[in-house]
Structure 1
Amino acid sequence: MNGTKVLVADDDVNVIEIIRLYFSQHHIELIEAHDGSEAVRLAETEKPDAIILDVMMPVMDGYEACREIRKTMDTPIIMLSAKGEEFDRVLGLELGADDYVTKPFSPRELVARIKAIFRRMQPRVSEEKEAVVQEIRFSDLVIDLQGRQVIVAGEKVAFRPKEFDLLVFLARSSGSVFTREQLLEQIWGYDFFGDIRTVDVHIKKIRQHLAALPYECIHTVWGVGYKFEVEACSV
């Protein structure tokens, strides 16, 4: 991971020093922040490869910092907190975090999660070879595979990387039902450490992005999972 820069925001200097020592062994440069406001500023100026945000920080907490960073950046974000309740994990994911680590934690696990996120960000070889299909079209919905853009009712809508990948996977298998576990495996990979509710959070975001359509695309199959289906569609 030579040359990798990771922004770590935590008001506990002991936590930062422990992370710094372990990062140095893996040739990761640590950018240090002690509150959420400083984290937002450094994220913009330093352009780190990944960001770790403690939830409980002065001036601006980790949730608010995550929300602010997501307004302009898609940099991977890991939330770090002593809170382990499902509500807290889901809130972090809904605000745009990619993973959630509960204190006390192992620095080794933290590095493993960062590496896993980077692996998931790499373009899939199979996708790179799929040059035959340039776009998927469903009436008022157009998915540009090459440009990774989505046009909804004539308007371009911004999708985050995993939201786009999930939409494409479901759209390519229109009519097929997938469990949350299957979607995690296909989109996030076997080594994903996060909560299974990650799928629900991303489905919710996709539905919000597609709200302008006169029909529903993403359907919940109760007790099973999700499917993509549009009547009278063409691909």
Structure 2
Amino acid sequence: MIKIAMVEDDLELAEVLTQYLKQYNIEVTNYEEPFLALSSLRIKKYDLIILDLTLPGMDGLDVCKEIVKNFNIPIIISSARSDITDKVTALQLGADDYLPKPYNPRELEVRIKTILRRFNNNSEDIKEEKVKLFHLDMDKKEITKNGKYIKLTAAEYEVLSLMMKREGFVISRDDIFENSDLLNSDYDSSGSLAVIINRIRHKIEDNPKEPKYLHTIRGMGYKFTNE
């Protein structure tokens, strides 16, 4: 469910929007007081803010500035102010959209989902760019770490590529054998899989004795983490 924080002192409008958006799996929590809204953002997680500009005790543009400064959350300005200066200022401060009142609630619902789709895609791209150290190119049958090619034998590549495809999940020895064209249970009778794992660690780990990426899960198998 999408969770929205609304800062709106028109309680009748807030109730109408809350009930309308509920049918689209959007849960709205309204705050009449801007200071209460800012405090709640520090303890509760919301996906998006709907912000009025004419508020008691604090101008909406100042609220917008505080949110942008302290939180990474998209903002839709919902205001009856018709001055183009307010719209320009709000967008310059970092608001993601400006919806002048009155408007159709359906338009608000569409804008919410459009902004969240764009926001979440951008956040995922940034996250992947920052934390993904290893890249698997299945066409070239190559694995790189921080863009640098890792020289692997065919068996090492098969094992590591399988684990990368199932990143974060524990893979049993039997699973590795069943999904490998080069390995089988007879091949491992002398502990060859453990030898391959050890060789891979020497090629990808900073300290093979204290692995950060290729973990042994005692009694279960192995797990690969790409961060």
Q: Contact (CA 8 Å) 1:35, 1:61: kept in 2 or not?
A: no
Q: Is the 8 A contact 1:76 1:117 kept in 2?
A: yes
Choose from 117, 129, 140 the match for 1:146: 129
Task: Give the superposition deviation at 1:111.
Answer: 0.8
- 2:74, 2:119 within 8 Å by CA — same for their partners in 1? no
Match of residue 73 from structure 2: 75
Q: Encode CA deviations 1:49-84: one digit per residue, 9 max, x unaligned.
A: 000010000011211111111122120001111112
Q: Secondary structure at the match of 2:98?
A: strand
Partners of 2:20 and 2:100 lie apart in 1 by 18
Q: Where has structure 1 moved over 6 Å in runs of 4 or more? A: none
Decide which structure has the larger Cα Rg and report it: 2
In structure 1, the gaps of 5 or more residues are 129-144, 149-235
Cα deviation, 1:146-170, whole Å, max 9, x if unaligned, reads 239xxxxxxxxxxxxxxxxxxxxxx
Please give the alpha-carbon distance, in whole angstroms, between the structure 1 residues aligned to 2:121 and 2:111.
Answer: 18
Indicate the RMSD between aligned Cα atoms, in angstroms.
2.4
State the partner residue of 2:95: 97
**Aligned-residue offset at 1:112:** 0.6
Q: Encode CA deviations 1:162-194: one digit per residue, 9 max, x unaligned.
A: xxxxxxxxxxxxxxxxxxxxxxxxxxxxxxxxx
Shift in Å at residue 41 of structure 1? 1.2
1:7 and 2:15 correspond? no
SS at structure 1 position matched to 2:121:
coil
**1:181-219 C-alpha deviation (Å, 9 max, x unpaired):** xxxxxxxxxxxxxxxxxxxxxxxxxxxxxxxxxxxxxxx
Secondary structure in structure 1 of the residue aligned to 2:70: coil
Q: Which amino acid aligns with 2:130?
A: G
Any gaps of 5 or more consecutive residues in structure 2? 132-227
Q: Deviations over 1:21-59 (max 9, x none)?
A: 111111211111002212211222222100001000001
Q: Is the contact made by 1:8 and 1:52 (CA closer than 8 Å) also made in structure 2?
A: yes
**Aligned partner of residue 146 in structure 1, secondary structure:** helix
In 2, the alpha carbon distance for the partners of 1:13 and 1:111 equals 19
Q: 1:109 corresponds to which residue?
A: 107
1:13 Cα deviation (Å)? 0.4
Q: Which residue of structure 2 lines up, in the alignment, with residue 50 of structure 1? A: 48
Give runs of aligned pairs for residues 201-216 of structure 1, distance below 5 A: none
Q: Secondary structure of 1:52's partner?
A: strand
Number of the residue aligned with 1:65:
63
TM-score by length of 2: 0.53
Does residue 18 (structure 1) correspond to residue 1 (structure 2)? The answer is no
Q: Distance in 1 between matches of 2:8 and 2:120?
A: 28
Cα distance in 2 between the residues matched to 1:33 and 1:18:
14
Q: For 1:106 and 1:8, how far apart are their aligned partners in 2? A: 16
> Which secondary structure state, in structure 2, belongs to the residue aligned with residue 45 of structure 1?
coil
Paired residue type of 2:43: T
**Conserved 8 A contact 1:51-1:75:** yes
Identity rate of aligned residues, in percent? 39
- 2:35 — aligned with what? 37
Residues 5 and 28, structure 1, Cα contact 8 Å, conserved in 2: yes
Q: Deviations over 1:72-122 (max 9, x none)?
A: 212000111111232111110111111001001111111111011012124
Matched positions, count: 130
- TM-score, with structure 1 as normaliser: 0.51
